[in-house]
Structure 1
Amino acid sequence: MLYHVQPLNPVALELGPLSIRWYGIIIALGIVIAYILATREGKRRGLPDEIFADLLLWAIPISIICARIYYVLFEWDYYSVNPGKIIAIWEGGIAIHGALIGAIVTAVVFCRKRNISFWKLADIAAPSIIIAQAIGRWGNFMNQEAHGGPVTREFLEGLHLPDFIINQMYINGSYYHPTFLYESLWSLLGFILLLLLRRVNLKQGEIFLAYGIWYSIGRYFIEGLRTDSLYFFDTDIRVAQLVSAAVIIISLALIIFRRTKHNIPHYLD
C-alpha cells in the first residue's frame, strides 16, 4: 500500500527574514516547565524564591556553549578544516551531555557563591531536568533528527504509534526508529520515579544521582540505535555510551561512598 506522507513543518512562524522554529519553542517550553517545578519545590525546601531564576541566567548560555564545544570536539575532523562553521550553531550540532556538564559545573560554582548545598539544589532540580529532556526530544521530532536506523512502516504501526509520528519518521524515502520517542518516554518514566523517590526521603544527593543512573541506562541502549552518534575520535566507541557508562559507575560509587558518612542530611530534613 502506498502512503502520502507529508512531514510537519519545522518552522512555526516566519517574520520577514526571521524564522522561529518549533525546535526552539519546544526547548523553551521545557525550560519554563522545569523552572516552574523547581521553583515550587525549592520554596517547599526552604530555598530563596529567586534562586533558580538567578541560576538559569548563567546556566542556559553556558550550557549552550558547552553543548556546542562538546559536539565540535568530537567532530573535529570536519571543523578543523571548516573553522568558520564552529560558531554556526543555527545549522545544528549540540550535545545534551555537553549541556549537562556545563550546567552542573555552573551550579557547583553558583552554590558555592550563594553558600547553598549543591546536593540539595541538585535533588530539587533533578525531576525538572529530566522532564525538560522528555519535552525537548520533541524538538528533534520536529526536525526529523536524532532518529535510529531504517525500519518498515509495519514495524512502526506495530508499536501502535499515531500516524503523525509514523509519517514524521518517513525521511528521504525510508522509515526510521523514533529514538526521540524512546528517550522521551524513558525520561517521562524517570520523572515519575524521581517524584516517588522524594517521598522515600533519601540522603541529599541521591535523587540527583538516581537521575544520572536512570537517564544513562536508557541513553546507553537508545544510543545504540541512533544513526547520528558522535564517536570517540578514531574508534568505534560511541561517546554517549561511554559517558553514560561512566555516569552510572560514578553515581553508584558516590551513593555507596556517601552512605558511609553519618552527617549527610536527608532530602526532607
Structure 2
Amino acid sequence: MHPILFRIGNITIYSYGFMIAVGILSAVIISMYRARRVGISDDVVLDIAIFGVLGGVIGAKLLFIIAEAPYVIKNPVVLKDMIKGGFVVYGGLIGGVLAAYIYCRKKKVDFLKMFDVAAPAIAVAQGLGRIGCFSAGCCYGKETTSPFGVVFKNSPFAPNGVRLIPTQLISSLGNFLIAAVLFYFSKKAKHNGQVAGLYMILYSVGRFIVEFLRDDPRGNVLFLSTSQFICIFVFIIGVFVYNIHKLKRS
C-alpha cells in the first residue's frame, strides 16, 4: 500500500525494512523482560539477537536462491539481482535459530530455555514483519471477488488494480494469535522446550495453510511450495522438541 514510508534527503525509508526493524527491536525487548525472570542476562539476549539476525539474513538469502535455483540455472545473470533483494522467511528462521544454537553451545547457555524465552517474541516480530509485507505488496494472495480482498495501486511486487486475498494480514493476525497462545502457555509449561516446540507446531500448521492462498512467485518441491515442504519437517521437529523431556527421562 505504501512501499516507501518516507524520505529524508537522499535517504529512503521503506515500510518493509522499517517494520522488520520494529519487529526485531520488539522481540529483543520482550525477550529481555522474559529472560530476566529465568536468570538469563540482557547481554546474552543481545548477543543472541545479533548473531540470530546475521544468521537469519544469511539463511533467508540462501533459501531464496535455492528455491529459485531452476530459474538461476537458466538465467545466471539474475543471481546478481537476487543477492541484492529477495528473502525467504523460513530461511531466516532456520538461519537465526542455528546461529543462536551455536552461540548457546559455545557459551554454555541452555538453548531450549532460551528458545522458550524467545519463541513468543519471535511470533510478535513475525506479525509485525508481515505488516511490512502488506505495505510493500510482497507475499500477496490469489485473486478474489471477496469484499475482504485488497487492491494494490502502488506495489512493486503485487499485481496492481486487482482484488487479492490479503495473505499478509492473515499471516500477521495468525502470528499475533500464536504469540498470545505462547505467552499464556509459558505460564503453565513445566519443561524446557515445550513453549519452543508449541511455537514450531503452530507456526508450521498456520504457514502450511496460508501457502494455499498465496499467488506470488515461489519455489516448489513436487506439488508443495518450498515453505510447505519445510513445514512438514518443522512440525515433526516441533513435536520432538515439545516432548524432549520425556526422552531425557527414559
The alignment's TM-score, normalised by the length of structure 2, stands at 0.90
2:81: which partner in 1? 88
Residue 251 in structure 1 maps to residue 209 in structure 2: no
**2:27 corresponding residue in structure 1:** 34
2:227 counterpart of 1:240: yes
- Structure-2 separation of matches of 1:138 and 1:254: 29
2:192 pairs, out of 186, 204, 225, with 204
Please state if 1:112 is matched with 2:105.
yes
Q: Distance in 2 between matches of 1:35 and 1:253?
A: 26
CA deviations 1:15-37 (Å, max 9, x no partner) are 44432201111100001111000
Kept in 2, the 8 Å contact 1:229–1:240? The answer is: no
Name which of 156, 174, 185 aligns with 1:186. 174
Aligned pairs for 1:65-80 (under 5 A) are 65-80=58-73
Q: How many residues are matched?
A: 246
Pair 124,189 (structure 1): closer, same or farther in 2 beyond 3 Å:
same
1:137 aligns with 2:134: no
Contact (CA 8 Å) 2:193, 2:244: kept in 1 or not? no
Is 1:49 matched with 2:42? yes
Following superposition, the deviation at residue 261 of structure 1 comes to: 2.7
AA paired with 1:28? A
Note the C-alpha offset of 1:256.
3.5
Which residue of 2 is the match for residue 5 of structure 1? none
Matched, 1:10 2:18: no
1:190-230 Cα deviation digits (max 9, x unpaired): 11110111111331011001000001111000001111253
**Amino acid corresponding to residue 148 of structure 2 in structure 1:** L
Structure 1 residue 182: deviation in Å? 1.0
**Which residue of 1 is the match for residue 214 of structure 2?**
226
Instruction: Report if aligned partners of 1:134, 1:187 keep a CA contact under 8 Å in 2.
Output: yes
Structure 1 residues 86 and 16: alpha-carbon distance in aligned structure 2, compared to 1, 3 A threshold: farther
2:147 aligned with 1:155, yes or no? yes
What's the Cα RMSD here? 2.2
Give aligned-pair identity as a percent: 29
CA distance in 2 between partners of 1:135 and 1:167 (Å): 21
Deviates more, 1:72-81 or 1:125-134: 72-81
- Report the CA distance between 1:109 and its aligned residue: 0.7
Structure 1 stretch 203-212 or stretch 221-230: which is displaced more? 221-230
The 1:19–1:40 alpha-carbon spacing in structure 2 relative to 1, beyond 3 Å, is: same
Q: Which residue of 2 aligns with 1:215?
A: 203
> CA shift at 1:155, angstroms?
3.0
Asked whether the 8 Å contact 2:112–2:196 carries over to 1, the reply is yes
The runs of at least 4 aligned residues of structure 1 exceeding 6 Å deviation read none
Deviation string 1:143-186 (CA, Å, 9 cap, x unpaired) is 1121211012x4317xxxxxxxx344894231000011111111
Contact 2:151/2:160, CA 8 A, preserved across alignment: no
Partner of 1:160: none
* Distance in structure 2 (CA, Å) of the matches to 1:238 and 1:171: 20
**CA-to-aligned-CA distance 1:16-66 (integer Å, 9 cap, x gap):** 443220111110000111100000111111011211111122221221111
The 10-residue stretch of structure 1 (22-31 or 249-258) with the greater mean CA deviation from structure 2: 249-258
CA contact (8 A) 2:60 2:95 kept: yes
Change (3 A) 1:220 1:43: same
CA deviation after TM superposition for structure 1 residue 80, in Å: 2.9
Partners of 2:137 and 2:3 lie apart in 1 by 9
CA–CA distance in 2 between the matches of 1:16 and 1:181? 31
